Amino acid sequence: METEPQGFEPATGDGPEAAGAGRAAEVRTAYEGMLQIRRLLAGGAGVPAPWELRLMPRAVALVLEAAGFPPSAVDPAGVRTRTGYRVAGAADRVEVTWAGPPGGGATGEEQERLKACAAELERHGWECLLYRGPRGRRFLEVERRP
C-alpha cells in the first residue's frame, strides 16, 4: 500500500535526528514561508500569523530550528540520544525544555540555552516566561502576546 507524502514538519525534539543539506533547505524554505505569511496576514514579520496561533507547537519549533538551535532527539525505543530543545504543548500554550540523554549535561546548560531560545522567540512575537519546575528543572512557557 502506498502512503501519501508527508509535508514538512519542524523538529520538536521528540523524533529521530534530522540533519543534512536537504533538511537545512527545507527548514529555510518553511521559515521564509512563515515570514511571508506573517507579512501578508499579520501585519509584519514580528507578529504570529493566525495559523501559528492554531498550531503553536509547530510554529515555535520552526522558529527554534530555523535559528539554529539543536533539537533533542530520541531513538526508536524512545531513549533520548541528543541534547537540545524539546517543544510540547497544546494550541494555546507551549512548553520548551532543554533535554538530553542521561548524564549528557542538559541540566547544567538549560538556563542559558532556554534564555537564548526565549530571546529568539520573543523577537518573533511570542511571550516567554522562564520557570523552575519539578526537580528544579527549568522550562519556558510560550504564549501569544496579549
pLDDT tens digit at each of 146 positions of the chain: 444 446 889 999 999 988 778 999 999 999 999 999 999 997 888 999 999 999 999 999 999 999 999 999 999 999 999 999 999 997 689 999 999 999 999 999 999 999 999 999 999 999 999 999 888 999 999 999 87
Question: Which three-class secondary structure state does DSSP give residue 63?
Answer: helix
Among 48, 65, 55, 54, which residue's Cα sits nearest to residue 12?
65
Cα separation, 44 vs 2, whole angstroms: 40
pLDDT confidence of residue 6: 63
Q: Residue type at 93?
A: R
pLDDT confidence of residue 134: 81
What are the structural domain ranges in the chain? 21-144
Q: What are phi and psi of 141, to 5 degrees?
A: -105, 125
pLDDT confidence of residue 3: 45
Cα separation, 16 vs 81, whole angstroms: 9
pTM of the model: 0.92
Residue pointed to by grid coordinates 501559528 = 52
pLDDT confidence of residue 111: 96
